[in-house]
Amino acid sequence: MRNSQSKLIIGIWLLLVGFILILIPFLSEWQSNRDARALEEALSLVADSEQSNIEVNVMGKTMTENELEQVMRLEIPVIDLNQLVLPETTEQNLKVALTQIKKEQVPGEGNFTIAGHRGYRAERHFSRLPEIDKGDTILLHANDKTYKYQVFSTEIIEPTYLEILEDHPFRREITLITCTRGGQERIAVRGTLMNETAALAVGE
């Protein structure tokens, strides 16, 4: 009898552990979606408000108006991507949006680098980055301007190949990086700057 009870208790615990393990990704996704919505609302508040020195609580921390104005937006029409780009790469930021890899980057200058999680949902992060082909358009919206890039290279690289992030003299590029599905390698999409214009409405 005791043996049967022990097996029953162990079985129940295994079911609970399995349920928790299944639940964790959904809870993480819910938290990320909530933070992303809060960030979008904060950006709208800054854009629409006539007040100055606005501070809002986003992702568990206080962000100033100046910090929010540093947030950019990446648009890739061919894969229906429209994601915010945060100025710093941290694990928390990567859960919510795309991030700049190098500090103090300037849009339209050098090699502007952006990282993003692969994600398991088609509309999230860089999940569809592998579908991009040469000639496709990448739009970076920043500082009331839109920077238009044309893809010239898509490749799979090793995580240690950091040279792909370097600037090159007289070249203005963008480099997008995410993991392969297995996570062992990286997918790199590179584009060259075609032109920059006054900011367009997203989707134009």
Query: In terms of DSSP bridges, do strands 98-100 and 81-86 run parallel, antiparallel, or are they unpaired?
Result: parallel
**168 assigned to active site:** no
- Secondary structure, 3-state, 10-39: HHHHHHHHHHHHHHHHHHHHHHHHHHHHHH
Name the catalytic one among 125, 141, 168, 179.
179
- Residues 28, 194: Cα–Cα separation, whole Å: 38
CA atoms within 13 A on the CB side of 111: 18
Residue 109, C-beta contacts closer than 8 angstroms, at least 6 positions apart: 172
In this structure, is the dihedral angle defined by the CA atoms of residues 34, 38, 39 and 40, taken in order, positive or negative? positive
Strand, helix or coil at 83?
strand
> Of 147, 141, 200, 202, which Cα lies nearest the Cα of 173?
147
Please say whether the beta carbons of 39 and 59 come within 8 A.
yes
Name the catalytic one among 117, 125, 141, 168.
117
Please say whether the beta carbons of 80 and 202 come within 8 A.
no
**125 assigned to active site:** no
Q: Which are the catalytic amino acids? A: 117, 179
